[in-house]
Amino acid sequence: MYRINIIDARGTLHELEGADGQNIMAVAVDHDVPGIVGECGGDMSCGTCHVHIEDTWQQAAGQPDADETDMLEVVDNLQPNSRLCCQIRMSSSLDGITLKVAGTE
Amino acid sequence: MASTSEVEERADVVIVGAGHAGVQLVSALAKKQFAGSVVMIEAEEGYPYERPPLSKGYFSGEQQLGDILFRSPDYWGNSPARLMTGETVIRVNADEHLVETATGRKLRYESLIWAAGGNARSLPLPGADLAGVYYIRTLADADALKLRAEKSARAVIIGGGYIGLESAAALRKAGLAVTIFEAADRLLARVTSGPVSEFFRKLHVERGVEFRFGQSVAAIIGEGAHGVTGVRLASDEILPADLVIIGVGLLPNVDVLAAAGCATGNGIVVDEVHRTSLPDIYAIGDCASFASAGGYHRLESVPNATEHAQILAGVLMGEQPRQRAVPWFWSDQYDVKLKTVGLLSGHDAVVVRGNPDSGAFSVAYLRDGRLIALDAINATADFAQARLLIESGAPVDYERLVNPTIKLKDCTTPRVAA
């Protein structure tokens, strides 16, 4: 299990654990983290798992592909460190990743 | 000893149905730190699961049960919401604020949320109850179907809607011969336009699916333990088949509430905040015929169920009702992703953006010069931008719309300064 730190819009830190290969959105909704809905179940079709990756983790998390970039173009609060977290799967290189919820509900 | 009529549980919120609407409501309330007690009653056994994968990844075997559960078992263990599975609600007493289940349990509610979805519409065909004939609504359906498909060579699908088409894609991947019967003269006739119908017809034909348009199955033939061996058409032609899938729509679950005196039409009739005609009873998801923009809609989709749940959660928390989001939908068939946003009824113009033969294009539906809906086939940017354009109601420039190299969001008509 790997550690995931998610800070919600109120500043509350949620310290979670995800299994190898598990996407971050799935972990977040399993803990009712406010602001992450995951409406489409991880199909990258809804934009409701929008997060900002903390600077030190940006490289490890990687860049969005073309489709994710298209979806991100229309979310509120788009920043260079924006990702849809259903597209980030946990691995040892992401152990301890910290990110902030970007969306509101 | 207390008589059964005195033995009752109570909860502030009782949710009937642990499908997409019910589960999202539980989550939304938890995120808002709802202080009341919540009980969710579900007829099926087992942990709540997502339905779209039943005709996609779960059907094809790419996903296992663990992949399609809404939440982990730990979630339900930790949740203050209580999950009651294997219990079917058979009666609602609106005056007494009581629900009763088939096993005789009674619960008293402050607020009752009917999120009971519906059942696959059955076809009164001779032979429809033979072994090897399936609807796809539940996990049990999908499991039985998968087992049968492993031993089958030929499948017949009755109904060329999304369920039928997605199942066809999964069955073709598994190597079965597939024939689809569609009563109309094109696919998805009620929900999309000619160009999109034609795209999907070609897509499936290229993958080896046979279509029979305007023809119908008169009887399913077979017998005994083996069940289905074929279908007989009105013309008396017989098509051999080892497996039949019927996908002809959903019957919303209305009987129990109707018996309780609730207004029903095409589903449970609700207002803008999902209140039914009975006090303290709400309805959300596939079963709800909801008021919107001067009319009523009943939409069978996951985004619709989620949206209803979000709206109702706000209502139950006493918040200002949020504005309804534009409806949207998705379907995955082979390597094609269809995403649709808005509702096209009432459109007066159709604009195709891009070339369908390229495998990536979109179709825009306009009314009075404004975008009201869009079908995007492998066209994520158009899909994403269409939602904003539909919400804003901005007039669009036809000449630019027709040019797929111009971004959709740049197709609005420049406003003339006063």
Torsion-angle region of B102 (φ positive above 0: left; ψ -120 to 50: alpha; else: beta): alpha
Is residue B7 over pLDDT 70?
A: no
- Tens of pLDDT, residues B357-379: 999 999 999 999 999 999 999 99
Nearest CA in chain A to B311: A105
CB contact under 8 A, A41 and B28: no
- Side-chain-side CA neighbours of A3 within 13 Å: the count stands at 8
* List of residues 6+ apart from A80 with CB closer than 8 A: none
β-strand partners of B114:
B16, B283
ipTM at complex level: 0.91
Nearest CA in chain A to B314: A105
When pLDDT is cut at 50, 70 and 90, the band that residue B1 belongs to is very low
> Do A103 and A75 meet the contact criterion of CB atoms below 8 Å apart?
yes
When pLDDT is cut at 50, 70 and 90, the band that residue B3 belongs to is very low
CB contact under 8 A, B27 and A29: yes
> Do B14 and B113 meet the contact criterion of CB atoms below 8 Å apart?
yes
Is residue B4 over pLDDT 90?
A: no
Is residue B346 over pLDDT 80?
A: yes
Q: Which residue has the higher pLDDT, B3 or A73?
A: A73
Give Cα B105 to chain centroid, integer Å: 30
When pLDDT is cut at 50, 70 and 90, the band that residue B190 belongs to is confident
Segment holding B387, helix H or strand E: helix B380-392
Is residue B261 over pLDDT 50?
A: yes
Distance from CA of A91 to the nearest CA of B (A): 18
CB contact under 8 A, B330 and A39: no
Note the helical H segments in B12-72. Answer: 20-31, 57-60, 65-68
pLDDT of amino acid A6: 98
Is residue B79 over pLDDT 60?
A: yes
Query: Going by DSSP bridges, is the β-strand pair A13-18/B38-41 parallel, antiparallel, or unpaired?
Result: unpaired
Three-state SS for B225?
Answer: coil
Distance CA A47, CA A71 (A): 6
* Degrees to nearest 5, angle at CA B416 with B411 and B418: 155
pTM here is 0.93
From chain B, which residues contact A within 8 Å (Cβ)? 24, 27-28, 30-32, 50, 52-53, 71-72, 74-75, 302-303, 306, 310, 328, 330, 332, 337, 339, 380-381, 383-385, 387-388, 409
Nearest CA in chain A to B389: A74
Distance CA B298, CA B314 (A): 21
Mutate to test the interface with B, among A27, A39, A48, A89 (most CBs of B within 10 A): A39
- Side-chain-side CA neighbours of B356 within 13 Å: the count stands at 16
CB contact under 8 A, A43 and B387: no
Nearest CA in chain B to A34: B31
Task: Check CB contact of A25 with chain B, cutoff 8 Å.
Answer: no
